[in-house]
Amino acid sequence: MWLAGSSPAPNEDTILSLHTVNAQTEDTASVRETAEIPPVRDPLTDALIFLAAHHGRAITRAAVISGLPIIDGYLKPALFGRAARKAGLEVETVRRKLTEIPQLVLPAVLMMRDGTARILMSLNRLRKTAVVVNPSTDLGPVNIKFRELAADYQGYAFFARPAIEADPRAVSAGDLPQRHWFWSVVRRFWKNYTHVAIAALIINMIGLASPLFIMSVYDRVIPNGAIPSLVAWSYYNKKVETLQVEMETLCDEFLRRYYAGGKKARA
């Protein structure tokens, strides 16, 4: 009960406004406390998002680490390959010196001694400088000397490239072969390949005539002075060699014509 001469009793609007001010103060304090908590450093996820964007693959941080056994809130090097496949990239882990990294595999992810990562964009071996990007910051590309980068470089790198995936619509339309590239053709044209195989077998057997002729001449004909045998052996050996050349020519002509006809039929 309010006494005379005291301040007037607060009405309902005043009490509601006081509650609102207190709630806003508590929200501001909680936001300030949340902002003061440092974010978890995740350099490999930042590097993967950068590489995906560089190769035209859009992906979010949540999509990268979803379904992975993440510990301490950041991506470990052992899980980098699995996370890269979600972004449509193929990754190869290598241990290589900075000067041995080829220009064709860039951009590549370099692991640093302090646990961070750098994106190696290009190398200038004449000036001994490199262009690197810190994916966890927005500073952009930075030129750095080889010796400075090599001092912090851990020696391990990730080479990334876009994964090759067939379009399901193209496969369903029949643009891509569904059967084996070799055995499907053999099963279709097995008669022709059988003829070629038999011809190749005969040609190889005829090819044994020359070694046998030379062996017989040196072992039997020359020691005995059998000149008539030498003439007969030479005559029949020449016939066999002529037959071998003719069969090789026919087999080559057959394969060439068949291949040209198959290309015209497919065209």
Q: Looking at the 3D structure of the chain, how many domains does it have?
A: 2
How many Cα atoms within 13 Å fall on the side-chain side of residue 247?
A: 19
**What CATH number corresponds to the domain at position 134?**
3.90.70.10
| Range of the structural domain that residue 262 is part of | 177-266
Q: Are residues 47 and 156 in the same domain?
A: yes
What radius of gyration, in Å, describes the C-alpha atoms of the chain? 39
Could you tell me the pTM of the whole model?
0.47
Question: What is the b/e burial string over 35-48, where b = at least 16 CB atoms within 10 angstroms of the residue's CB?
Answer: eeeeeeebbbbbbb
* Residue 6 domain-assigned (yes or no): no
Question: Within this chain, do residues 98 and 198 fall inside the same structural domain, yes or no?
Answer: no
Dihedral sign from CA coordinates of 120, 112, 60, 140: negative
- Asked if 71 and 132 sit in the same domain, the reply is yes
Q: What would the pLDDT profile of 123-139 be if each residue is shown by its tens digit?
A: 888 888 888 888 888 77
User: What residue ranges in the chain does DSSP mark as E strands?
Assistant: 89-95, 108-112, 117-124, 129-133, 142-145, 153-162
CA distance 208 to 214: 10
pLDDT tier at 25 (50, 70, 90 boundaries)? low
Structure tokens at 18: 């006081």
Q: What percent of the chain has pLDDT over 70?
A: 76
Domain end among 162, 190, 212 = 162
Residue 136 amino acid letter: S
Does residue 37 form part of some domain?
A: no
